[in-house]
Amino acid sequence: MTTTAGPIRHDRYRFCPACGAPLELQRLRPDEPPRLVCSKCAGVVYLDPKVVTCVILEIGDKILLLRRKRPDDTHKWLLPGGYVDEGEPVELAAIREIREEVNLDITLDGLVGVFSYAGWPPVIIVYSAHMDTAEPSAGEETEDLALFTREQIPWDQLAFPSTRDALLAHINGRACEPMPLTVSDQHS
């Protein structure tokens, strides 16, 4: 498998994890996307999404954003968060990520929304939390952090669409609305 920072592509997986035979891209049902199927044992390899959890943390009347030490993220602001480990409750992962990235212990207030985008494997679950006062500090993976009033948020310097969409949902005081679903009678 080739390491990638972008979306998972079918052409990056070539062999069956069960028997080692070559995988082939096949459409198993007309209403589903093509799947990776083993040419020998017929096992199907499902490319499941990765689950990410983030927190919109308000300290006083400001929102905490950070920049990571990774080269692709050093100039972009994002919400504190990260991947959920297998078997880990999503809420506990959110609390763990805040502790790791900004050295704070928090209590979650509620769910802001669940965000996913066509062609991109992560599903991002965003919570909110509030502290009257706190002194966050950069964790091991954090390059920089800052508190922004709602008017100061650097919209043109946000790392991901989910960061923008979650902040807008939170600021506008609304639950995240599902994307409009377009249903077609044609199958690709």
User: pLDDT of 128-171, one tens digit each?
Assistant: 999 999 999 999 989 999 999 999 999 999 999 999 999 999 99
| Of 87, 134, 88, 126, the residue nearest 109 (C-alpha) | 126
Q: CA-CA distance, 99 to 177, in Å (whole number)?
A: 29
For residue 152, which amino acid is it?
Q
Q: CA-CA distance, 11 to 186, in Å (whole number)?
A: 25
Give how far Cα 64 sits from Cα of 101, 117, 177, Å: 11, 24, 23
Task: Please check whether the domain covering 50-171 is classified as CATH 3.40.1030.10.
Answer: no
**What does the pLDDT look like over 115-125, one tens digit per residue?**
999 878 899 99
Which structure tokens are listed for 121?
């494997």
Task: State the pTM of this model.
Answer: 0.79
Q: What's the mean per-residue pLDDT of the chain?
A: 87
User: Is the pLDDT assigned to residue 73 strictly greater than 70?
Assistant: no
Expressed in angstroms, the distance from the first to the final Cα of the chain is 27
CB 37 within 8 A of CB 24: yes
Task: Please check whether the domain covering 10-45 is classified as CATH 2.20.70.
Answer: yes
Give residue limits of the domains in the chain: 10-45, 50-171
